[in-house]
Chain A
Amino acid sequence: MTESTHDRHPMTGNEMSPSAAGGIERHQYDVVVIGAGGAGLRAAIAAQEAGARTAIVCKSLLGKAHTVMAEGGIAAAMGNRWPEDNWEVHFRDTMRGGKMLNNWRMAQLHAQEAPERVMELEDWGALFDRTEDGLISQRDFGGHKYARLAHVGDRTGLEMIRTLQQRAFQLGIDVFMECTVTELLKDADGNGRIAGAFGYWRETGRFVVFEAPSVVLATGGIGKSFKVTSNSWEYTGDGHALALRAGASLINMEFVQFHPTGMVWPPSVKGLLVTESVRGDGGVLKNAEGKRFMFDYIPEYFKAETADTVEEADRWYDDKKNNRRPPELLPRDEVARAINSEIKAGRGSPHGGIYLDIASRRTPEFIRKRLPSMYHQFKELADVDITAEPMEIGPTCHYVMGGVEVDPDTELSAVPGLYAVGECSGGMHGSNRLGGNSLSDLLVFGRRAGAAAASYSDGLGGSRPAIAEQDVKAAEQSALAPFEVEGGENPYTIQQDLQQSMNDLVGIIREGAELERSLAEIEAFKERASRMKVEGHRQYNPGWHLSIDLRNMLIVSEAIAKAALAREESRGGHTRNDFPGPDPVWGSKNLVVTLNADGTGVELTEKPLPEMPDELKKYFE
Chain B
Amino acid sequence: MGYELKMRVWRGDQSGGDLGDYTVEVSEGEVVLDALHRLQATQAGDLAVRWNCKAGKCGSCSAEINGRPRLLCMTRLSDFEPTETITVTPMRSFPVIRDLVTDVSYNYEKARELPGVELGPRDPDGKRRMMQVDVERGQEFRKCIECFLCQNTCHVVRDHEDNKPAFAGPRFFLRYAELDMHPLDTRDRRSAARETAGLGMCNITKCCTEVCPEGIRITDNAIIPMKERIVDRKYDPLVWLGAKIGLRNKDDDGRTEA
Interface contact A233-B51, CB-CB below 8 Å = yes
Interfacial chain A residues near B104, Cβ < 8 Å: 61
Interfacial chain A residues near B51, Cβ < 8 Å: 232-233
Interface contact A130-B53, CB-CB below 8 Å = no
Interfacial chain A residues near B135, Cβ < 8 Å: 127-130
Q: At the interface, yes or no: A477 with Cβ under 8 Å from chain B?
A: no
Interfacial chain B residues near A167, Cβ < 8 Å: 116
Interface contact B139-A233, CB-CB below 8 Å = no
Given A162-B142, A203-B97, verify A542-B128 contact (CB < 8 Å).
Answer: no
Q: At the interface, yes or no: A72 with Cβ under 8 Å from chain B?
A: no
- Taking a contact as CB atoms closer than 8 A, the residue among B56, B111, B142 that contacts A159 in the complex is B142
Interface contact A272-B54, CB-CB below 8 Å = yes
Interface contact A232-B29, CB-CB below 8 Å = no
Q: At the interface, yes or no: B251 with Cβ under 8 Å from chain A?
A: no
Interfacial chain B residues near A273, Cβ < 8 Å: 55
- In the assembled complex, the Cα of A299 lies from the Cα of B101 at a distance in Å of 50
Interface contact A62-B108, CB-CB below 8 Å = yes
Given A60-B52, A63-B146, A69-B53, verify A134-B131 contact (CB < 8 Å).
Answer: yes
- Taking a contact as CB atoms closer than 8 A, the residue among B34, B40, B98, B127 that contacts A540 in the complex is B98
- Taking a contact as CB atoms closer than 8 A, the residue among A1, A119, A137, A534 that contacts B14 in the complex is A1
Residue pairs across A and B with CB atoms within 8 Å: the count is 185
Q: At the interface, yes or no: A539 with Cβ under 8 Å from chain B?
A: yes
Chain B contact-residue range equals 35 or more
Interfacial chain A residues near B132, Cβ < 8 Å: 129-130, 134, 137
Q: What is the minimal beta-carbon distance from B129 to any residue of chain A, in angstroms?
A: 4
Interface contact B41-A492, CB-CB below 8 Å = yes
Q: What is the minimal beta-carbon distance from A540 to any residue of chain B, in angstroms?
A: 4
Interface contact A539-B142, CB-CB below 8 Å = no
Q: At the interface, yes or no: A566 with Cβ under 8 Å from chain B?
A: no
Q: At the interface, yes or no: A88 with Cβ under 8 Å from chain B?
A: no
Chain A contact-residue range equals 35 or more
Q: What is the minimal beta-carbon distance from A494 to any residue of chain B, in angstroms?
A: 11
Interface contact B53-A540, CB-CB below 8 Å = no
- In the assembled complex, the Cα of A496 lies from the Cα of B14 at a distance in Å of 32
Interfacial chain A residues near B179, Cβ < 8 Å: 125
Given A127-B182, A130-B130, verify A492-B57 contact (CB < 8 Å).
Answer: no
CB-based nearest A residue for B78: A383
Interface centre among B30, B31, B52, B143 (most CB of A within 10 A): B52
Interface contact A11-B45, CB-CB below 8 Å = no
Interfacial chain B residues near A64, Cβ < 8 Å: 52-53, 58-60
Interfacial chain A residues near B40, Cβ < 8 Å: 492, 542-543
Q: At the interface, yes or no: B49 with Cβ under 8 Å from chain A?
A: yes
Q: At the interface, yes or no: B145 with Cβ under 8 Å from chain A?
A: yes
Interfacial chain B residues near A1, Cβ < 8 Å: 13-14, 95, 97-98, 103
What are 8 pairs between A and B in contact, CB < 8 Å?
A69-B55, A133-B129, A155-B57, A162-B144, A267-B30, A373-B57, A492-B42, A535-B45
